Amino acid sequence: MGVKTIKQNKLIWHHIDKLDDQSLDLLKDEYKFHPLDIKDVKGEKEESKVDVYSKYVFVVLHFPVIIRGQARAEVMELGIFLGKDYLITVQKGTYKPLRDLYYKLQNSAKYRKSCFNRDPGYLFYRILEILYSNNKNITSYVLSRLQGLEDEVYSDEIDENTAKRIAYLRQKILSLKRILDPQVEVMGQLSQLKTNFLASELNVYFDDIDDKVDKITNFLDNQKYVLKDLLEVHDSLVTHKTNKVIKILTLFSVALLPLTLLSGIYGMNINLPFSGSSLNVWFMFIVLFALVVGVILYMKKKKLI
């Protein structure tokens, strides 16, 4: 059965977590919603929006779902029909906080009474409050990953995969922003909603939800720029490390140049000074080798290498 129902006094909440014939009959025959709205909840994911009719309000919202191991966040779409004495939610995709909320309302009479003690608009606000409070999990996830990357960048464990992990987290943040940014506009519309069947003071409650969504989007914006700066620091440190290695190799190459030159000259099949005795040649090699060692020790003392 796709329709789950909770009723308290004159207020009823139908939650549809799976569209089947029974749930479609409920939407089409019992409540007679507009065919375009039914088409929206039946079809592929729609854009977030608010449609106001004379007897009900139709809202489409999206909630991000973080799946570890994936670069992009998944999305759960929620279609909402809000009328005078009913609230109907149609869920596309899995979302544990919504499932837990339904069973909490079903099993706790006290909690159910606190949510159902007013009109459907207030119940809708309480549901949104719980669902958007789940965004704390997003901030915790992003902050923990970011802290780990910062520790990695500023430690000796930095490697070629660090930049990839930074880009991976930045991609996930951009994915979260694509989901949440349109919700700001929808919450703004709900905070200014005026209908004959909803209390006008609900605008203040929806404005509170608008602030929650706005805070999480601002947080993601800030972390996006933090990651950009972190990637620049990473690139600078990698470049510095690479330049240091090149510098050492260059110094050794220059230091060994006299030995290379001497071996090249005395490797030719011609008469050269001091070539009559092998001891003379070995003496020159030893002197030059000592000179090379002395230069290296001097550079090390001066912290050039």
Model pLDDT for residues 142-192, shown as the tens digit of each residue: 888 888 888 888 887 667 788 888 888 888 888 889 999 999 899 888 888
pLDDT digits (tens, 9 = 90+) for 133-144: 877 788 888 888
Note the CATH number of domain 3-239.
Answer: 3.30.460.20
* Phi, psi for residue 143 in degrees, rounded to 5: -65, -40
191, 210 in Cβ contact below 8 A? yes
- pLDDT score at 276: 62
Q: Taking the mean position of all CA atoms in its chain, how far away is CA 9?
A: 42
Report whether pLDDT(195) > 90: no
- Nearest CA among 163, 160, 223, 176 for reference residue 70: 176
Domains of the chain, by residue range, sit at 3-239
- According to DSSP, residue 51 is labeled E
Give the rounded distance of the alpha carbon of 173 from its chain centre.
3
**Strand spans (E) along the chain:** 3-8, 11-16, 49-52, 57-65, 74-82, 86-92
pLDDT digits (tens, 9 = 90+) for 26-83: 999 899 999 999 999 988 777 899 999 989 999 999 998 887 766 677 888 999 999 9
Q: Please check the confidence at residue 248 and state whether its pLDDT lies above 80.
A: no
